[in-house]
């Protein structure tokens, strides 16, 4: 075992040749440095990552928990994507002052708006803690491994957080073959500075999403505030702009095909080392289920959002998130099939087994994978429908949060006040968080359709008992002569015959939807009240059925898969010792490098590396939900009032460009940086032809779509008239 790990350690340091593929650990970027230089990089290793002085890493931050942003001034100004700031912008909007639809620009710091709940995490350092973790977890697997890993993880994080001065996080890399401690500084006073109107920030809507060519101005600006000592401090009127250790200078020189391009950021999750059985399951079972559920969910939400502006503002951020990955799963499935990824992985796995046998090794690993997936497959659709369909209902999740209280009261005739308080607090916290997703009209239709979809698509032998006991109860429900039950605490009988009637019944026989009745219940909770609540009964049936009968099967599968995946990657890195490996994305800082480059999406077609404002205007449709644009922008275009932001060659405003960089979700808002360390754009999307990228990187088709910094500054200056923001940046021609 020790020999294998030593070989593993040597493999990760090998310098390979595939420049554009790979999400590399910044602390170890020196291993890639010579190749980066050959591609055009002018910076030193220390410029990229250093713990002794300011470096590129100090200008990059994790924004809002799921995106990336970059510092672009010495006074706390940051740039990220419009869709990363979407939730905060929508939350600051009202029907009377609709910042989301109309845009917003602060012309001085006093006009900036506190973005409640938005956080900014700055990486301070990374430390390899593999030896310390392995000393505790040893060769354990499954539940025992998770328990031991959580124990040592807590020990290290508690030790390194220094009384909450820092945020410490221990992460697995290379499927658990290596571990790093990451230490962050967390700022919570973040304020909205500027955003283009939604019709520019989401120009093209779902039609253009994940598609090139693109003309979207997907950006927003915020500012971080700190205490007088530049340390994190909760929002206060006397806080001052944060002074970053480094901020990125901005180049408006423009880009040419073949230019060096580098992206720092926080990619969320990839699964590049997935086996063929996993890809097959995704293509044929999981992804189609997600798409079908989300299609219905989006249709319902949109109907209600279109009817009422308040509902629109309440649900638009959630709608946007659901829609984004709805189309992602459509594209991923299509491209995994088109690129024959299952067959390619099977071929690689056959070669792996042949190598094992040739080296007198145990060659049973692939058979173990096959058996594990075969055992799990009958429950895969149910697991997907539970997470995507049942949990689509905000009411179901609010009611489901009462399960710990329900079970405690059921087991204790004389409940302890402290225990009751603990469980009521859990329910209260969950309800507050979910209330922003709850719109009565939307919820009623959603609950009906999701209940119907669950019944029609999940194996009948796996369904929760709510269908048999209530919804389809022939002895009572649906009969006009049926009387209300008389037993204490028994649920009032459902009298309807359709899913819509059932949803109406649930919502009219629950205390969960109303904050007053909900709080009154929490003040004096009883088991009888829970059992007599239609929403609680609904949620308890689904949650209990899944957690008791199917979650153990899902967890057992995940344990086995993790164990096999760890072994597979470790041995594959020995098998392919001449190949450079990188760890899957795990929401930690990575760097990827490549070039500005167009591509051929299909035979006979060439996609240029950039788009222009000409293309946006050609798509422009006044009043369109997806292709409208501000009249002021059209007037600027007609007048050719482009200022210093026009391209030096063709005199046009370049809107977006593509590079060969390797990114995924979480990289949204990441800076695209040139060879001199200057900001040239904000990465915001991938292209349709390479939607398989999270599982299988394709060098021929994979592209990152970047909003050109010149387009961004043009809109800030000419449309937003916020030249105050331009002046605080280091803009280089």
503 and 627 both lie in a single domain: no
Q: Please tell me the predicted confidence (pLDDT) of residue 483.
A: 43
Q: Copy the structure tokens of residue 661.
A: 């960089």
Q: Please tell me the predicted confidence (pLDDT) of residue 427.
A: 96
Angle between helices 440-457 and 499-508 (to 10 degrees): 130
d(CA 175, CA 567): 9
pLDDT tens digits along 2-23: 333 333 443 343 333 344 899 9
Please report, for residues 592, 595, 616, the alpha-carbon distance to residue 673 in angstroms, rounded to integers and kept in the order given.
Answer: 10, 11, 24
d(CA 671, CA 583): 21
- Are the beta carbons of 421 and 516 closer than 8 angstroms? no
CATH code where residue 644 lies: 2.40.10
Q: Please tell me the predicted confidence (pLDDT) of residue 665.
A: 96
Q: Please tell me the predicted confidence (pLDDT) of residue 485.
A: 43
9 and 115 both lie in a single domain: yes
- Are the beta carbons of 721 and 641 closer than 8 angstroms? no
**Which residues, in sequence order, are CB contacts of 106 under 8 Å at separation 6+?**
112, 113, 192, 193, 194, 722
pLDDT tens digits along 258-273: 999 999 999 999 999 9
**559 within domain boundaries:** no
Sign of CA dihedral 233, 235, 240, 241: positive
User: Which of left, alpha, beta for 205 (phi over 0: left; psi -120 to 50: alpha)?
Assistant: left
140 and 227 both lie in a single domain: yes
- Indicate the average pLDDT of the chain: 93
**724 within domain boundaries:** yes
d(CA 263, CA 219): 16
Q: Please tell me the predicted confidence (pLDDT) of residue 474.
A: 57
d(CA 708, CA 219): 10
**322 within domain boundaries:** no
Indicate the pLDDT class of residue 163, thresholds 50, 70 and 90: confident
Q: Of the residues 231, 248, 265, which one is the last residue of a structural domain?
A: 248
Strands 60-63 and 67-71: antiparallel
Among residues 73, 276, 541, 668, which one is catalytic? Answer: 668
> How large is the average pLDDT for residues 15-43?
84
* Widest Cα–Cα separation across the chain: 83
d(CA 12, CA 25): 11
Q: Of the residues 527, 550, 573, which one is the last residue of a structural domain?
A: 550
Q: Please tell me the predicted confidence (pLDDT) of residue 486.
A: 40
Q: Please tell me the predicted confidence (pLDDT) of residue 494.
A: 62
How much is the CA Rg of the chain, to the nearest whole Å?
Answer: 27
> How large is the average pLDDT for residues 61-80?
97
Among residues 58, 73, 83, 259, which one is catalytic? Answer: 83
Strands 731-732 and 250-251: parallel
Please report, for residues 152, 318, 440, 526, 563, the alpha-carbon distance to residue 314 in angstroms, rounded to integers and kept in the order given.
Answer: 41, 8, 12, 32, 42
d(CA 81, CA 85): 7
Q: Please tell me the predicted confidence (pLDDT) of residue 647.
A: 97
652 and 536 both lie in a single domain: no
Q: Please tell me the predicted confidence (pLDDT) of residue 580.
A: 86
Q: Please tell me the predicted confidence (pLDDT) of residue 490.
A: 44
52 and 187 both lie in a single domain: yes
**333 within domain boundaries:** no
- Residue 475, pLDDT > 70, answer no
CB-neighbour burial class of residue 544 (10 A; exposed 0-12, middle 13-18, buried 19+): middle
What secondary structure, in 3-state letters, does 188-212 show? CEEEEEEECCHHHHCCCHHHHCCCC
CB-neighbour burial class of residue 561 (10 A; exposed 0-12, middle 13-18, buried 19+): buried
Among residues 58, 218, 584, 717, which one is catalytic? Answer: 218
- Residue 112, pLDDT > 50, answer yes
457 and 520 both lie in a single domain: yes
d(CA 495, CA 341): 51
pLDDT tens digits along 601-637: 999 999 999 999 999 999 999 999 999 999 999 999 9
Does residue 636 sit in helix, strand or coil? helix
**403 within domain boundaries:** yes
Please count the residues of the chain: 733
511 and 594 both lie in a single domain: no
Number of domains the chain is built from: 3
Residue 668 falls in the annotated catalytic set: yes
How large a percentage of the chain has pLDDT more than 90?
91
- In this structure, what DSSP letter does residue 80 have? E
**582 within domain boundaries:** no
> How large is the average pLDDT for residues 101-106?
98
Residue 53 falls in the annotated catalytic set: no
pLDDT tens digits along 520-570: 999 999 999 999 999 999 999 999 999 999 999 999 999 999 999 999 999
**271 within domain boundaries:** no
531 and 619 both lie in a single domain: no
Q: Please tell me the predicted confidence (pLDDT) of residue 578.
A: 87
C-alpha 623: how far from chain center? 31
d(CA 90, CA 76): 22
Does residue 673 sit in helix, strand or coil? strand
Closest CA to 671 of 716, 717, 708: 708
223 and 102 both lie in a single domain: yes
Q: What is the pTM of this model?
A: 0.93
pLDDT tens digits along 677-725: 999 999 999 999 999 999 999 999 999 999 999 999 999 999 999 999 9
Q: Of the residues 550, 568, 600, which one is the last residue of a structural domain?
A: 550
Q: Copy the structure tokens of residue 548.
A: 């008791």
Phi first, then psi: give them for residue 292, nearest 5 degrees.
Answer: -65, -45
Sign of CA dihedral 52, 57, 61, 67: negative
d(CA 364, CA 571): 13
Q: Please tell me the predicted confidence (pLDDT) of residue 497.
A: 75
> How large is the average pLDDT for residues 665-677?
98
Q: Please tell me the predicted confidence (pLDDT) of residue 453.
A: 97
- Are the beta carbons of 391 and 397 closer than 8 angstroms? yes
461 and 368 both lie in a single domain: yes
C-alpha 104: how far from chain center? 25
Structural domain including 501 reads 360-550
499 and 594 both lie in a single domain: no
609 and 721 both lie in a single domain: yes
**231 within domain boundaries:** yes
Pick 487 or 338 by higher pLDDT.
Answer: 338
Helix (H) or strand (E) holding 672: strand 671-673
Please report, for residues 284, 337, 690, the alpha-carbon distance to residue 334 in angstroms, rounded to integers and kept in the order given.
Answer: 11, 5, 10
> How large is the average pLDDT for residues 161-176?
92
């Amino acid at each position: 075992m020790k020999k294998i790990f030593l070989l593993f350690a040597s493999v990760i340091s090998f310098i390979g040749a595939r420049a554009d593929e790979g999400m590399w650990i910044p602390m170890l970027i020196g291993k890639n440095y010579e190749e980066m230089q050959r591609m055009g990089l002018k910076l030193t290793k220390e410029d990229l990552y250093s713990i002794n002085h300011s470096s590129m890493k100090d200008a990059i931050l994790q924004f809002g928990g799921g995106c990336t942003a970059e510092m672009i001034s010495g006074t706390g100004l940051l740039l990220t994507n419009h869709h990363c700031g979407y939730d905060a912008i929508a939350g600051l909007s009202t029907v009377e002052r609709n910042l989301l639809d109309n845009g917003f620009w602060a012309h001085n710091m006093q006009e900036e708006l506190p973005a409640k709940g938005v956080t900014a995490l700055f990486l301070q350092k990374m430390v390899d803690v593999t030896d310390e973790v392995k000393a505790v977890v040893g060769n354990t697997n499954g539940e025992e491994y998770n328990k031991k890993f959580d124990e040592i993880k807590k020990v290290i994080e508690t030790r390194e957080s220094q009384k909450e001065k820092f945020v410490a996080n221990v992460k697995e890399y290379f499927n658990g073959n290596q571990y790093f401690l990451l230490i962050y500084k967390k700022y919570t006073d973040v304020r909205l500075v500027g955003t283009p109107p939604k019709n520019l920030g989401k120009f093209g809507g779902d039609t253009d999403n994940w598609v090139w060519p693109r003309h979207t101005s997907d950006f927003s600006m915020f500012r971080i505030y700190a205490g007088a000592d530049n340390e994190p401090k909760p929002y206060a009127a006397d806080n001052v702009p944060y002074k970053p250790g480094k901020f990125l200078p901005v180049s408006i020189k423009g880009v040419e095909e073949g230019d060096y391009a580098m992206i720092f950021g926080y990619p969320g999750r990839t699964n590049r080392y997935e086996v063929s059985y996993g890809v097959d399951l995704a293509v044929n079972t999981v992804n189609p289920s997600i798409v079908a559920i989300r299609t219905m969910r989006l249709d319902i939400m949109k109907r209600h959002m279109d009817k009422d502006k308040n509902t629109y503002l309440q649900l638009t951020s959630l709608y946007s998130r659901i829609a984004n990955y709805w189309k992602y799963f459509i594209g991923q499935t299509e491209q995994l099939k088109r690129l024959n990824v299952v067959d390619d992985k099977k071929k690689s796995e056959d070669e792996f087994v042949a190598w094992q046998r040739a080296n007198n090794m145990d060659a049973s690993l692939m058979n173990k994978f096959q058996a594990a997936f075969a055992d799990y497959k009958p429950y895969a659709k149910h697991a997907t429908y539970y997470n995507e369909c049942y949990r689509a209902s905000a009411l179901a999740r609010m009611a489901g949060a009462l399960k710990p209280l329900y079970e405690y009261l059921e087991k204790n005739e004389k409940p302890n006040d402290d225990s009751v308080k603990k469980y009521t607090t859990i329910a209260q916290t969950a309800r507050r968080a979910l209330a922003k997703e709850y719109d009565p009209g939307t919820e009623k239709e959603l609950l009906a359709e999701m209940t119907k979809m669950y019944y029609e698509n999940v194996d009948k032998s796996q369904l929760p008992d709510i269908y048999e006991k209530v919804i389809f109860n022939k002895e009572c429900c649906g009969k006009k002569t049926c009387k209300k039950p008389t037993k204490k605490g028994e649920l009032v009988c459902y009298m309807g015959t359709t899913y819509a009637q059932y949803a109406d019944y649930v919502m009219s026989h629950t205390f969960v939807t109303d904050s007053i009745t909900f709080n009154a219940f929490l003040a004096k909770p009883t088991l009888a009240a829970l059992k007599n609540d239609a929403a609680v009964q609904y949620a308890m049936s689904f949650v209990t059925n899944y957690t008791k009968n199917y979650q153990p099967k899902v967890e057992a599968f995940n344990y086995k898969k993790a164990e096999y995946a760890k072994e597979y990657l470790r041995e594959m890195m020995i098998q392919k010792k001449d190949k450079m490996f990188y760890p899957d994305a795990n929401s930690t800082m990575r760097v990827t490098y490549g070039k500005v480059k167009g591509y051929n999406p299909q035979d006979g077609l060439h996609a240029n590396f950039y788009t222009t404002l000409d293309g946006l205007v050609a798509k422009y449709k006044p009043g369109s939900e997806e292709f409208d644009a501000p009249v002021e922008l059209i007037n600027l275009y007609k007048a050719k009032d482009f200022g210093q932001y026009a391209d030096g060659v063709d005199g046009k405003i370049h809107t977006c460009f593509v590079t060969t960089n390797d990114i995924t979700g979480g990289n949204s808002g990441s800076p695209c940086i040139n060879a001199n360390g200057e900001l040239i754009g904000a990465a915001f999307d991938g292209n349709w032809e390479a939607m398989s990228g999270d599982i299988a990187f394709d060098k021929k088709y994979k592209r990152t779509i970047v909003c050109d910094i010149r387009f961004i500054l043009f809109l800030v200056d000419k449309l937003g008239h916020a030249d105050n923001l331009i002046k605080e940046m280091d803009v280089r021609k």
